Amino acid sequence: MHDVAVIGIGQTKVDEHWDKSLRELSGDAALAAMADAQVGMVDSIYVGNMMSSVSNQQVHLGAMVADWIGQRFIEAVKIESACSSGASAFRSAYLAVASGEIDTALVVGIEKMTDSPSDEITAALATAADADWEVDNGLSFVGLNALLMKRYMYEYGWEGIDFAGFSINAHENAVQNPFARFRKAINEDQFINSPMICEPINLMDASPIGDGAAAVVLTRADSLSPNNAKVLVVGSASATDTISIHNRKTPTWLMAAEKTADAAYAQAGVSPDDIGVFEYHDAFTIMATLSLEACGFASPGKGPVLAKEGEIKIGGRIPVATRGGLKARGHPVGATGVYQIVEVIQQLRGDAGETQVPRHTFGMTQSIGGSGSNIVTNIFKRER
Amino acid sequence: MHDVAVIGIGQTKVDEHWDKSLRELSGDAALAAMADAQVGMVDSIYVGNMMSSVSNQQVHLGAMVADWIGQRFIEAVKIESACSSGASAFRSAYLAVASGEIDTALVVGIEKMTDSPSDEITAALATAADADWEVDNGLSFVGLNALLMKRYMYEYGWEGIDFAGFSINAHENAVQNPFARFRKAINEDQFINSPMICEPINLMDASPIGDGAAAVVLTRADSLSPNNAKVLVVGSASATDTISIHNRKTPTWLMAAEKTADAAYAQAGVSPDDIGVFEYHDAFTIMATLSLEACGFASPGKGPVLAKEGEIKIGGRIPVATRGGLKARGHPVGATGVYQIVEVIQQLRGDAGETQVPRHTFGMTQSIGGSGSNIVTNIFKRER
């Protein structure tokens, strides 16, 4: 295995991009990442996307992106693992470069969701759950998360307001991120008074959809000058869990998050204490909580304490959603995993402006597909 | 890069499997391949599929398959490149094993198409073409191939009947394959009198859809006993071309087929003359022709000669579609690329029964996504 470095990042604002087609949005992020990496050609493209066949009547996004950005004849595929598709695309690219077969790889996460009626998008999101045993029984994706949250609150005695800190932190950080969809701070009153979507999940517990694309360029670290600062991938792991929540022994524990975080820590030779920034998958506040616990940042049932005590803020023990997170940067599902990586690289480079974290040697990303049924965790390290 | 061996194969019959769910069909092929490989656990799963979000309201097939076959917590993703999705899944698995990161990988190609109304499937197949510049102008996928075929006939002076040999050969071979959808021989009269679908493509020029799953298990060759017979992946390449046909300089030449075949030949250290069996992508007879030419088995415009002179039959110069091909084994799109690999392995093992090819040291597969916009070519070698 060769060491792999991230040498370029690019992103579009998460928004309603009605004036941009799927290829244009992908291309904007891809070309920005290639310009940042100062490369004119790449050897392979890995596109992360979940629902373009439904929302854009287009599959085959590998070929579409390669063609659109002028990378003719190179290898290109799409990778899908529901809401963690972007992270899985990154992982495929990482393995291809690490193998030595591919020198330079481009990863593009893309999702364009706001052209479709919201009932179609709700149905498309539910395809991430189990069609036979969850969706056929009437569950939507937010419904599944509501069941999880209710169970968690029952087991550990928390109330809805105890999750407010996750969303308040995300919105506060998004104000400083020009690529975020909702650059507005919210307070506890706004959180608790927001409309209920599916009890106990209210509008401020849930991340918004959106159109967006993010991209990174990877290359073999040994091809770079040893004297230059660089960001290396020092830990990478991916794991599945049962696709239906009801098949899990402990539904309120994200086993695949624990397993991938432990594997990534071991590969990187670090512990949770070494992580200076964590871009987690706060699709719902319950997922934020469960992710922090499974990764060892809080003990079981204690995730909300981190939010209540401000430990997740910039300068706190484990800063999360530092560019807005899924909650306020927005969650264009197949793109999100790549946005998280772009944002951690910004932090490790020291380019995160007003939301720069102080300790920035190690950064971690975690992306969750389905209700915890696929999880990808990566650790990045800034060298010099 | 480590050498990679294929140690297990499995498949279901291509059929209308109305009594089997998506997970059951996938599991049948996967478990058969694992039994054949004599492994109880794998480290990673790569699922090839194109349209389950539309035809089965289910994405996230990596997690679904891992869960269903009891491979809990392992890494699993779906790979998509339109009609070559199965081959792209194989290629991802190959790279992951070659890198040394993954020891043993399972590849599953799955497509379940016959539960949906045919207009929905026609629309889903068209998502492999360019949504903005082809489909929006009224072209279906067969329509695109009809334009290509018409142009080819005009340029080189062929007539419809000249393509009959491709389909007759495929059907003849399918009679001997218990996993083929149409195990019926056809003759030239039946070919030429079959109903026109989209001129000049008639029913017998076109492959049928179907439900089916195929699977292979890959592992590092250095983990196997040096004394045992094995099948190695000795060449593997993937390339894209423009997603729209109109953007190609020479629409009747599959540039990505030529590039990937040349790369695979070079890696394997062979020429077309060394290939004893070629499972090609005969979705339409025009694609059969173009694939043979681009891979160096016929000169430009001369593909039909191979069919007319019987050179593509078992015992001929380059046997193709030896288990029925897409035309008669059937074309469950995302699964097809894996079926082709299963069939070549059967040949290299000497297990192809009545359709066994005589020269079986080297076998080749080629899978085509879209109208030639993604092509994956692999060469396999039997050792000892």
Interface pTM, i.e. ipTM: 0.97
List % helix, strand, coil for chain A (3-state, nearest 5): 40, 20, 40
Among B14, B97, B110, CA closest to B60: B110
How far is the C-alpha of B74 from the C-alpha of B63, rounded, in Å? 9
Q: What are phi and psi of B195, to 5 degrees?
A: -60, 145
CB A367, CB A340: distance < 8 Å: yes
Asked if B185 is an interface residue toward chain A (Cβ–Cβ < 8 A), one would say no
Q: Is A285 helix (H, G, I), strand (E, B) or coil?
A: helix
CB B95, CB A95: distance < 8 Å: yes
Summarize the confidence of residues B256-283 as an average pLDDT: 98
Q: Catalytic residue at B246?
A: no
Which 253-282 residues of chain B touch chain A by CB within 8 A? 255-256, 259
Residues facing A216 on adjacent strands: A9, A107
Q: Is A44 helix (H, G, I), strand (E, B) or coil?
A: strand
Percent of chain B with pLDDT over 90: 97
Choose the catalytic residue: B17, B171, B331, B360: B331
> Residue A1: pLDDT band by 50, 70, 90 thresholds?
confident
pLDDT of A48-79, one tens digit each?
999 999 999 999 999 999 999 999 999 999 99
CB A291, CB A84: distance < 8 Å: no
Q: What is the pLDDT of residue A99?
A: 86
Instruction: Pick from A43, A68, A80, A241 the residue to mutate for testing the B interface (most B CBs within 10 Å).
Output: A80
How far is the C-alpha of A353 from the C-alpha of B158, rounded, in Å? 66
Q: What is the pLDDT of residue B351?
A: 97
Enumerate the residues of chain A whose CB falls inside 8 A of the CB of residue B240. Answer: 62-63, 66-67, 71-76
Q: What is the pLDDT of residue A28?
A: 98
Q: Is 90 exceeded by the pLDDT of residue B206?
A: yes
The three-state (H, E, C) secondary structure of chain B, written as one string: CCCEEEEEEEECCCECCCCCCHHHHHHHHHHHHHHHHCCCCCCEEEEECCCHHHHCCCCCHHHHHHHHCCCCCCEEEEEEECECHHHHHHHHHHHHHHHCCCCEEEEEEEECCCCCCHHHHHHHHHCCCCCCCCHHHCCCHHHHHHHHHHHHHHHHCCCHHHHHHHHHHHHHHHCCCCCCCCCCCCCHHHHHCCCEEECCEECCCECCCCEEEEEEEEEEHHHCCCCCCEEEEEEEEEEECCCCHHHCCCCCCCHHHHHHHHHHHHHHCCCHHHCCEEECCCCEHHHHHHHHHHCCCCCCCCHHHHHHCCCCCCCCCCCECCCCHHHHCCCCHHHHHHHHHHHHHHHHHCCCHHHCCCCCCEEEEEEEECCCCEEEEEEEEEEC
Distances (CA, A) of A79 to A111, A136, A289, B80, B277: 13, 26, 27, 6, 30
Q: Is 90 exceeded by the pLDDT of residue A27?
A: yes
Q: Per the CB < 8 Å rule, is B67 touching A1?
A: no
Choose the catalytic residue: A17, A171, A281, A331: A331
The total number of residues written for chain B in this structure? 384
Six token digits for residue B241: 């071309």
Q: What is the pLDDT of residue A89?
A: 98
Q: Per the CB < 8 Å rule, is A243 touching B98?
A: no
Q: Is A1 helix (H, G, I), strand (E, B) or coil?
A: coil
How far is the C-alpha of B53 from the C-alpha of A370, rounded, in Å? 14
How far is the C-alpha of B163 from the C-alpha of B306, rounded, in Å? 10
Q: What is the pLDDT of residue A282?
A: 98
Radius of gyration of the CA atoms of chain B, in A: 19
Enumerate the residues of chain A whose CB falls inside 8 A of the CB of residue B259. Answer: 73
Percent of chain A with pLDDT over 70: 100
Q: Is 90 exceeded by the pLDDT of residue B226?
A: no
Q: Is 90 exceeded by the pLDDT of residue B99?
A: no
Q: Is B312 helix (H, G, I), strand (E, B) or coil?
A: coil
Radius of gyration of the CA atoms of chain A, in A: 19
The residues, ordered by sequence, that sit 6+ positions from A19 with a Cβ below 8 Å of its Cβ are none
pLDDT of B32-74, one tens digit each?
999 999 999 999 999 999 999 999 999 999 999 999 999 999 9
Question: Which of the 8 DSSP states describes residue A21?
Answer: -
Asked if A92 is an interface residue toward chain B (Cβ–Cβ < 8 A), one would say yes
Q: What is the pLDDT of residue A337?
A: 98
* Helix (H) / strand (E) containing A94: helix A85-99
Q: Per the CB < 8 Å rule, is A81 touching B60?
A: yes
Per the listing, tokens 């022994």 go with: A249
Instruction: Tell me the torsion sign for CA atoms A137, A138, A144, A148.
Output: negative
Q: Catalytic residue at A331?
A: yes
> Residue B172: pLDDT band by 50, 70, 90 thresholds?
very high
Summarize the confidence of residues A158-165 as an average pLDDT: 98
**Cα of A57 to nearest chain B Cα, Å:** 5
Question: Which of the 8 DSSP states describes residue B207?
Answer: -
Other CB atoms within a 10 A radius of the CB of residue A58 amount to: 24
Enumerate the residues of chain A whose CB falls inside 8 A of the CB of residue B64. Answer: 130, 243
| Listed range (A334-343, B221-230, B299-308) with the worst mean pLDDT | B221-230
Q: What is the pLDDT of residue B229?
A: 86
Q: What are phi and psi of A196, to 5 degrees?
A: -75, 130
Q: What are phi and psi of B113, to 5 degrees?
A: -110, -15
Q: Is 90 exceeded by the pLDDT of residue B282?
A: yes
Residues facing B76 on adjacent strands: B45
Rounded to the nearest integer, the mean pLDDT of chain A is 97
Q: What is the pLDDT of residue A229?
A: 86
Question: Closest partner residue to A73 among B21, B131, B259, by Cβ?
Answer: B259
Question: Closest partner residue to A243 among B60, B79, B124, by Cβ?
Answer: B60
Alpha helices for B40-117 (secondary structure H): 52-55, 61-68, 85-99
How far is the C-alpha of B132 from the C-alpha of A23, rounded, in Å? 9
Question: Which of the 8 DSSP states describes residue A195?
Answer: P
CB A355, CB A177: distance < 8 Å: yes
pLDDT of A266-289, one tens digit each?
999 999 999 999 999 999 999 999
Q: Per the CB < 8 Å rule, is B53 touching A23?
A: no
> Residue B163: pLDDT band by 50, 70, 90 thresholds?
very high
E strand segments, chain A: 4-11, 44-48, 75-80, 104-111, 196-198, 201-202, 212-220, 230-240, 277-279, 362-369, 374-383
Question: Which of the 8 DSSP states describes residue A60?
Answer: -
The answer to whether the pTM exceeds 0.90 is yes
Summarize the confidence of residues A359-374 as an average pLDDT: 97
Q: Per the CB < 8 Å rule, is B240 touching A72?
A: yes
- Chain B, nearest residue to A98 by Cα: B99
